[in-house]
Amino acid sequence: MGMRVDIRKNDEVQVIAGRDKGKVGRVLEVEPRKQVLFVEHVNMIKRHTRPNPSKQIRGGVLEKEGPIHISNVALLCSDCGPTRLQHREKAEGRKVRVCVKCGKVLDK
Ligand SMILES: [Zn+2]
């Protein structure tokens, strides 16, 4: 059983728990099944790669974003900072995500 993933690719989020607490970044990818997401320049992990000249890979240490559990991040509201979401139905029947604190629509 998992919680609903309300955070989407390209959202601006803040890390609220863990090693990178306080960091802000853009969501690169969301994996709802694993309940994780990847945030630009956050939770960087080192990967050692072997040189492979046929693929033009030099080898060495490569840094890339590691997965973060969705419960460890919060969407950023430009007025309130890290916040929780609420869904509201608009007149046309389309659902939008709004900030629970100020009611601002957070969908672009
Ligand atoms: Zn707000």
For the stretch 50-83, pLDDT in tens is: 888 898 888 888 899 999 999 999 999 999 999 9
Rounded distance between C-alpha atoms, residue 70 and residue 31, angstroms = 9
Residue range 17-42: average pLDDT?
Answer: 95
Give me ligand 1 centre to Cα 43, in Å. Answer: 26
**Host domain of residue 58:** 12-99
Long-range contacts for 85-90 (Cβ within 8 Å, ≥24 apart)? 85/6, 87/6
Instruction: Work out the mean pLDDT of the chain and round it to a whole number.
Output: 89
Give me ligand 1 centre to Cα 80, in Å. Answer: 4
b/e per residue 56-84 (b: at least 16 CB within 10 A): eeeeeeeeebeebebebbbbbbeeeebbe
For residue 108, tell me if it sits in a domain.
no
Residue 1's pLDDT is what? Answer: 40
For residue 43, tell me if it sits in a domain.
yes
For residue 55, tell me if it sits in a domain.
yes
Which residue's entry shows tokens 């960087």?
Answer: 44
For residue 2, tell me if it sits in a domain.
no
Whole-model pTM: value is 0.80
Give me ligand 1 centre to Cα 107, in Å. Answer: 12
Domain with residue 36: its CATH number is 2.30.30.30
Give me ligand 1 centre to Cα 87, in Å. Answer: 13
Q: How many domains is the chain partitioned into structurally?
A: 1
